[in-house]
Amino acid sequence: MADAIGKNYQKIISEKQDIIRDEWLKRLKVALEYQKDILTEKELNKNLDGFMTLFLKTIRSEEKDLLSGKEWKELKEHLSQIIQKWASQGFSIRETLSFLLTFERVLFERIREELGKEERENLDEFTGLEELLTELEEFVAEQHVKNREEIIARQQREILELSTPVVTLWKGILAVPLIGTLDSARTQTVMETLLQKIVETGSEIAIIDITGVPAVDTQVAQHIIKTIDAARLMGADCIISGIRPQIAQTMVALGVTFDVVTKATLADAFSIALKRLGFEIKEDRREEK
């Protein structure tokens, strides 16, 4: 809830909007340590002018509660676009907030100067304006955090894809070394990549190595089982390797089974895979002769 802004305040802000705007731009540039390679002069001016226009509209609004009017909504929408852009450019929370803080400072200074002595002592009219600005500042802080969180989430998805390599061990033999916590999104990505790679390379055997996985729950197991089934339909067999003792026992208690060959180590799995493809592994003893 923010009360209507007094008429003489409205008058001051409207009449002096150009002075306020210019002073604001000056201070904002200082606060941002302005560099035009990041933010063009033109864009910055557009941001300020847009805000100024919508801010004036908001305080002139006929609404009883300024925060329920459509002018307020437009103002927030404009701000939101600015900070979203800034967040994507890596602006800090301090820099983002300085957009409003410098505006507030300039605005109040101007009002103090224009008001008569008596009016200056009447603080009641100040409240509405302050409430409005506080509300905007909270909004900016919240939006900034939200934008950063979106960026973090996107980076997480990128890491997810980076950290799921499928490697060719031999012609016809693929291996996926799974490492770390397997949330379902990640398991799914790995499995999709594996199936894709089976098609691309025409491999007959895929080794899924889970040495680096700390826990296998039913959902992870289900993803692995589905991949085994899908690979089989594509003419490839899977071998699971690296099931550690504690995981084996946990899986038995859960009642999960894998309907394929499983081996304790990746080396064992590789050796079986080579044999299946018709290779023979021999130790070279020439040196002993």
The footprint of other proteins (CB under 8 A) covers 181, 183-185, 214-219, 221-222, 225, 245-247, 249-250, 253-256
The residue among 44 and 216 lying less far from other proteins, judged by its C-beta, is 216
For residue 265, give Cα distances in angstroms to 212, 240, 241: 11, 9, 5
What are the residues whose beta carbons fall under 8 Å from the beta carbon of 24, sequence distance 6 or more?
A: 48, 102, 103, 106, 107
C-alpha span between 209 and 265 (Å, rounded)? 8
The distance of closest approach from Cβ of residue 190 to other proteins in the complex, given in angstroms and rounded to an integer, is 15
The residue among 53 and 188 lying less far from other proteins, judged by its C-beta, is 188
The distance of closest approach from Cβ of residue 213 to other proteins in the complex, given in angstroms and rounded to an integer, is 10
The residue among 79 and 243 lying less far from other proteins, judged by its C-beta, is 243
Would strands 173-179 and 167-170 be described as parallel, antiparallel, or unpaired?
Answer: antiparallel
The distance of closest approach from Cβ of residue 189 to other proteins in the complex, given in angstroms and rounded to an integer, is 14
C-alpha span between 231 and 199 (Å, rounded)? 9
**Closest C-alpha to 271, from 173, 203, 198, 144:** 173
The residue among 163 and 184 lying less far from other proteins, judged by its C-beta, is 184
The distance of closest approach from Cβ of residue 176 to other proteins in the complex, given in angstroms and rounded to an integer, is 20
The answer to whether 140 touches 94, Cβ cutoff 8 Å, is no
State how far Cα 110 lies from the chain centre: 40
The distance of closest approach from Cβ of residue 47 to other proteins in the complex, given in angstroms and rounded to an integer, is 33
The residue among 201 and 250 lying less far from other proteins, judged by its C-beta, is 250
